[in-house]
């Protein structure tokens, strides 16, 4: 009963406030300047709070839901991962003139060798019907005087627990670009003093792009595997906008013949 009463009172107060500002807006052309100046300041204060509420509400109520880890996985998947950058909001949404070794959250780092950085990064909210990841990453590249540009994704320790040469590591990404460019996925697995490195080109196509790394063809020392990370390498990125709508990684056993 108490909650219902509170809701009725809130509705009445809202209607009263709405009527007040509707009347003030209609009378603004005839209002005295002193009154209008006071109302303008009140309206600005109210507008700032409303804009903040709308921004948060749009983010929380939009689909896909924040924190979602839903994506397609091959049968028998042993481990899967979507980096935090694509699951939840970052404290720092965007940055310009991005320096090399700039971290985006705890798992993603940007590397380049430009003398003058004309790169911008921004986390964007995915709202398309086909999107499964709540967030995406947009990279704007203007003049580019470097020789390489890459995103390094540090996989969590669980990525290598039980990893063996009988496994396949699959990398999936949804990428949008303003103009064609080459993107390579490089899987790095540290085992003892050595690092096993395998590179494949990510086929850019509409929808999901997938590459698979068959560890049977590697020289892994299974007993000494320590950690793994993934590099996404962008070739010829100058004057381009690259949006990574989603990036996921999973590991599953290869079919035995």
Domain presence at residue 247: yes
pLDDT of residue 139: 95
pLDDT of residue 52: 79
The answer to whether residue 176 sits within a structural domain is: yes
Our count of domains for the chain comes to 2
Look at residue 98 and tell me if it is in a domain: yes
Residues 56 and 84 in one domain: no
Residue 88 lies in a domain: yes
Residue 256: the pLDDT is 67
Which residue range is the domain that position 122 belongs to? 79-253
Predicted pLDDT at 53: 79
User: Same domain for 168 and 114?
Assistant: yes
The whole-number pLDDT of residue 61 equals: 63
Question: Do both 173 and 116 map to the same domain?
Answer: yes
Residue 174 sits in a domain of what CATH number? 2.60.120.260
Q: Residue 88 corresponds to which tokens in the numbers above?
A: 């939840």
Give how far Cα 217 sits from Cα of 158, 182, 200, Å: 22, 24, 14
Whether residues 32 and 127 share a domain: the answer is no
| pLDDT at 110 (0 to 100) | 94
- Quick one: 148 and 228 in the same domain? yes
Give the separation between CA 182 and CA 170, rounded to whole angstroms: 19
| pLDDT, position 72 | 83
Within this chain, do residues 30 and 93 fall inside the same structural domain, yes or no? no
Q: Identify whether 66 is part of a domain.
A: no
The number of beta carbons lying within 10 Å of the beta carbon of residue 35 is: 12
User: Would you state the pLDDT for residue 204?
Assistant: 84
User: Do 68 and 132 touch, CB atoms closer than 8 A?
Assistant: yes
Residue 68 lies in a domain: no
6/113 same-domain check: no
Same domain assignment for residues 134 and 228: yes
Shared-domain flag, residues 95 and 203:
yes
Same domain (yes/no): 104, 142: yes
pLDDT reported for residue 91? 80
Residue 239 in any domain: the answer is yes
Q: Report d(CA 173, CA 202) in Å as an integer.
A: 8
Residue 158: inside a domain: yes
176 lies in the same domain as 245: yes
Let me know whether 109 and 6 are in one domain.
no
Q: What is the DSSP letter of 108?
A: E
CA distance 106 to 154: 8
pLDDT, one tens digit for every residue, the chain (257 residues): 566 776 778 888 888 888 998 999 898 999 898 998 998 999 888 888 887 777 677 666 666 666 667 778 888 999 999 999 999 888 887 889 999 999 888 899 999 999 888 999 999 988 887 888 989 999 999 999 999 999 999 999 999 999 999 999 999 999 999 999 999 999 999 999 999 999 999 998 778 899 999 999 999 999 999 999 999 999 999 999 999 999 999 999 987 65
pTM for this one?
0.74
């Amino acid at each position: 009963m108490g909650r219902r009463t509170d809701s009725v009172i809130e509705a009445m107060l809202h209607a009263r406030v709405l009527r007040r500002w509707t009347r003030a807006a209609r009378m603004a052309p005839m209002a005295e300047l002193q009154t209008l100046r006071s109302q303008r300041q009140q309206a600005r204060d109210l507008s700032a709070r409303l804009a903040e509420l709308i921004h948060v509400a749009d983010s929380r109520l939009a689909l896909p839901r924040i924190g979602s880890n839903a994506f397609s996985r091959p049968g028998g998947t042993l481990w899967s991962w979507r980096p935090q950058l694509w699951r939840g909001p970052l404290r720092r949404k965007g940055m310009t003139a991005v320096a090399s070794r700039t971290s985006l959250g705890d798992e993603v780092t940007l590397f380049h060798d430009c003398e003058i950085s004309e790169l911008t990064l921004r986390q964007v909210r995915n709202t398309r019907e086909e999107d499964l990841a709540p967030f995406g990453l947009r990279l704007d590249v203007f003049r580019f005087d470097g020789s390489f540009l890459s995103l390094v994704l540090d996989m969590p320790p669980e990525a290598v627990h039980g990893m063996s040469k009988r496994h396949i590591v699959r990398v999936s990404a949804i990428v949008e670009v303003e103009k064609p460019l080459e993107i390579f996925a490089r899987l790095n697995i540290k085992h003892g003093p050595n690092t096993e490195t395998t590179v494949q080109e990510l086929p850019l196509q509409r929808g999901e792009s997938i590459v698979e790394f068959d560890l049977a063809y590697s020289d892994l020392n299974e007993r000494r595997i320590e950690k793994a990370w993934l590099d996404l390498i962008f070739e010829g990125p100058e004057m381009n906008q690259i949006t990574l709508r989603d990036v996921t990684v999973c590991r599953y056993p290869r079919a035995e013949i």
